[in-house]
Amino acid sequence: MAGELVRLYSYRLNQRGFAFAPDTPWQKEFEAKFPYDETEDQILTIEEVKRDMESSRPMDRLICGDVGFGKTEVAIRAAFKAVMSGKQVAILVPTTILTEQHYNNFKERLIDYPIKIEMLSRFRTPAEQRRILADLLAGELDIVIGTHRLLSKDVKYKNLGLLIIDEEHRFGVKHKEQLKQLRMNLDSISMTATPIPRSLHMSMAKIRDMSVINTPPRERLPVETYVMEFNQEILKMGIENELARNGQVFFLYNRIKTIYEMAKYLEQVVPQARVVVAHGQMDPEELEDIIHDFIEYKYDILLTTTIIESGIDIPRANTIFIDRADRFGLAQLYQLRGRVGRSNLKAYAYLFYEGKRAVSEDAMKKLRVISEYTELGSGFKVAMKDMEIRGAGNLLGPEQHGDILAVGFSMYCKLLSDAVREIQKKSDNPELLEDLTEPEELYLDIKYTGFIPDSYILDPKDKIEIYKKISGVVCDEDLEEIRRLLSDRYGRIPQEVERLLYLGQIRIICRKMGISEMTERITETKIETIDVIRIKFSAGKKIDVMKLMGLMSASKGKVFLKGEHPDCVFLRVDENLSLEDKGRVIVETLNKF
């Protein structure tokens, strides 16, 4: 399976896809009808998606944005653009309830345009499904929104151009790759609030592109989160407070066998509340009616299993209780908490665990993370924490997580890139896989330092985040983005931080040029002190000899070669140079190679 996926990704990286047409006047008119103000991140993400769509390289973009931060609008605009270019759009959604919600949102937004949309899920009768499939094949249907039903063998398209996967973490790799195999050069967008560790790592490793929507909509407030042993008094108080402001409550109870006993218990604790039960084993129509009645405010408490996890939008519901929260995954808890706080009212989440039962260390870590990251736009940070706790996942296999604790995350990624290289060697077209392999690790040992002073950034967490960003840069755009972020958030960049950014720039240039080592040694002779930086190139890297000779001549002896080191170039540094100038000189010299 790893081999298949490597071939698929390498094929996509080198394949020519369909280049969608630039925005039409209809597109501009349609976007102007959006009833809300777009956030900065939303505008940036829409631009990135459009740029990808207009390129001939197949798009594979992960959109990571919190619940209610506007990912659906990005999807609607991308779908509209695809249809304007005469292509069909498939939207894969994890649950029937969310499918219907998306279907209604798309219908409402596209009502003024001759775009035909259909929903394919168990809510459709067999006769309706047959009609939809016939329309899809004939090209009479522009957009189809569906559950796993879209992955069935009888679903065929006339001209599919764009695939959108919502709540990506709810699907297995087999499901997603199955759809991509339909059209190897298909443009695809994956949307999630908390990407699974594998997807996140693949995005960070540049196998996939990623957009992050961090800006919350105006008037949105963070959800107040409490983690505690099950407590009847807190339960009663939380429900009564919500009912007092005419709100509604979710109570998440994930055991169908005893869920009706729990309903009786809730009716005893809060007799005035109207309780209704919903779970996945109900008849689809009955379940749809219950959710619909809850939305219509015919009930106060929805006692439910995890079927509410994905995307159900009920602005009146602003308190959620999660029973046995320690048994859920971190991404799942984050999604469940995202069911509340979707209006401008203060929302509350209570995460209960059993007092009598020992809670595992990992489970407590998850509960701590979810209670710490309450600020708006934390989905990406939660996913990063999840990646630390669970590991990056068996990156190319069917499992969503991996046993990484034994070797550590960095070592795991190294082992993974080695495995990919092995597949590369055995591949018929090894050059196709070059994009997937990690470059040789750069060894940097120069007398040049940078740091972030307390006078610039005081918070240790923020400091670590910036250090990680700088150490992880792989291109000039990354570095510019960090510069903009620092200037915008903390003001004028001090010299110590500029030196740190120069180190980032040195890493980028070395990566581009295939430099594996850069070491600095100071040698004292009777006449003078000589400060020399040795630049070693990776095995197999061809150096432009004519260019190098020209550089040596122009440098007046500062750049030179040594016979015993044929794979190295030496740079003599003036010992009186200030640290600031030293960084600049190194970068300027490297850029001349």
Q: Is residue 438 part of a domain?
A: no
Q: What is the mean pLDDT of residues 158-167?
A: 90
Q: Is residue 434 part of a domain?
A: no
237 and 263 co-located in one domain: yes
Q: pLDDT for 541-552, tens place per residue?
A: 667 778 888 888
What are the angstrom distances between the C-alpha of 556 and each of 228, 522, 527, 548, 578?
A: 71, 20, 19, 13, 20
512 and 454 co-located in one domain: yes
Q: What is the C-alpha to C-alpha distance for residues 146 and 168, in angstroms, rounded to an integer? A: 14
Q: Report pLDDT for 207.
A: 52
Domain span holding position 273: 223-375
Q: What is the C-alpha to C-alpha distance for residues 312 and 108, in angstroms, rounded to an integer? A: 17
88 and 147 co-located in one domain: yes
Q: What is the mean pLDDT of residues 448-476?
A: 80
Q: Report pLDDT for 269.
A: 95
Please check whether residue 400 is in contact with residue 197, taking contact to mean a CB–CB distance below 8 angstroms.
yes
Q: What b/e string do you get for 504-534 counting C-beta neighbours within 10 Å, with b at 16 or more? A: bbbbbbbeeeebbbbebeeeeeeeeeebbbb
Q: Report pLDDT for 81.
A: 96
Higher pLDDT among residues 554 and 421, named by residue: 554
Domain boundary among 167, 187, 213: 213
Q: What is the C-alpha to C-alpha distance for residues 572 and 552, in angstroms, rounded to an integer? A: 11
208 and 231 co-located in one domain: no
Q: Is residue 344 part of a domain?
A: yes
21 and 155 co-located in one domain: yes
Instruction: Compute the residue count for the chain.
Output: 593
Inform me whether the pLDDT recorded for 389 exceeds 70.
no
205 and 232 co-located in one domain: no
Q: Which pTM does this prediction carry?
A: 0.58
Domain boundary among 213, 236, 268: 213
Residue 371 burial (10 A CB sphere; 0-12, 13-18, 19+): middle
151 and 40 co-located in one domain: yes
Please check whether residue 76 is in contact with residue 132, taking contact to mean a CB–CB distance below 8 angstroms.
no
Closest CA relative to residue 338, chosen from 146, 144, 169:
169
Domain boundary among 190, 213, 236: 213
How confident is residue 183, by pLDDT bands cut at 50, 70 and 90?
low
154 and 278 co-located in one domain: no
289 and 336 co-located in one domain: yes
Inform me whether the pLDDT recorded for 85 exceeds 70.
yes
Amino acid letter at 39?
A: T
Q: How many domains does the chain have?
A: 3
Q: The CATH number of the domain where 525 resides is what? A: 3.90.1150.50
206 and 237 co-located in one domain: no
Inform me whether the pLDDT recorded for 483 exceeds 70.
yes
Q: In this structure, are strands 143-146 and 187-192 parallel, antiparallel, or unpaired?
A: unpaired
